[in-house]
Structure 1
């Protein structure tokens, strides 16, 4: 991860107001096992836009293979690599066993609704895997002059509306509460039944009243727990989430049930 984030790692730590100690895969597995958490490990490939080496799908798959009780994984591909990106997504799912695709429009430098990248979505539909899009601001490049060249507008949730409409069979997950465009994300998710919410990367104590109402109400069947570990720990996220008073059934849906249904996991 250190090499893949390059000089932006320190800016990200400042953004989250935390210093992230380096951990081995073994240490991470022990930590998640102690918290009874199944972690979704994310690969990373923004090589074209950022010039940094990928955190590869093979590495993520090797971690999942080593600790299948605590890890599952999502692939990443660089959208600008065209046919090679499509082929890599297919390999990551069919050969490596990864369960989804993670894309970061701002860091990868592409607009989600640009039709040049539609072959990726068509392949995800064919493979029956969800696509997780980063939405909203990002800690990467935050506080750096020029933001490290990262353009936030590429991660506006409204851009996903076109994708959801053009690919009704594609399951789309909007990652993070999408600040400062939370209302856009809620509008898209409430209008398009193939759009889900990921709740990572933003303390529930900072959620808007509209987001709390949606997550505990009409979108409770399509809301997914996430922490953005290591920047936010499971314990801190859960304590903040419980401050909103979810009942036991809704809490179980968001922490386990929805993800189990979406990814075909054992809910236990």
Structure 2
């Protein structure tokens, strides 16, 4: 399954959000989109509405939102809760910098919605996970967070 960075394909918003997600579906089949916020999308309403409209119109797409949804991690949790195909990754953050609401979400209802990410080479995997024990995750959540969720989302165990 190809991974597509939505903003590298459409570096401006000259095309509508709907067209962007439609073209992602054409490129990937039931693939993966990784939309990121652009400077023109800095208002909460604009950024979350772009993501939500794509998730609503194209529920077959898997969407992984990086950098914990910064600067709106609380809104990102709400979007991931509402849409089965929307996931959050923790790239660009070390475990000790995760917002408390994200850690709470990861421990509970978001245990299958949050994927670990580093930001290599700026943040190494070792730095990313150095303070993982401080999050007090149970064994199941730790396995899901560190590998099982990513294997599922990226279909890494699918050998067909």
Q: TM (normalized to structure 1)? A: 0.52
C-alpha offsets along residues 157-215 of structure 1, whole Å, 9 cap, x if unaligned? 44201100001111111111122211111110111111111111122212221111111
Change (3 A) 1:230 1:236: same
Q: How many residues in Structure 1 have an aligned counterpart in Structure 2? A: 155
| Alignment check: 8 A CA contact 2:66 2:90 kept | yes
**Counterpart in the other structure of 2:92:** 201
Which of 101, 118, 134 does residue 227 from structure 1 map onto?
118
Distance in structure 1 (CA, Å) of the matches to 2:105 and 2:16 = 25
Which of 173, 177, 181 does residue 64 from structure 2 map onto?
173
Question: Structure 1 unaligned runs (5+)?
Answer: 1-97, 138-149
**Counterpart in the other structure of 2:2:** 99
**Counterpart in the other structure of 2:34:** 132
Distance in structure 2 (CA, Å) of the matches to 1:196 and 1:112 = 24
Greater RCO, CA 8 A, separation 6+: 2
Change (3 A) 1:173 1:123: same
- Runs of 4+ in structure 1 off by over 6 angstroms are none
**Counterpart in the other structure of 1:243:** 134
> If you compute each CA radius of gyration, which structure gives the higher value, 1 or 2?
1
Distance in structure 2 (CA, Å) of the matches to 1:152 and 1:214 = 25
Q: Secondary structure at the match of 2:131?
A: helix
Q: TM (normalized to structure 2)? A: 0.82
**Counterpart in the other structure of 2:145:** 254
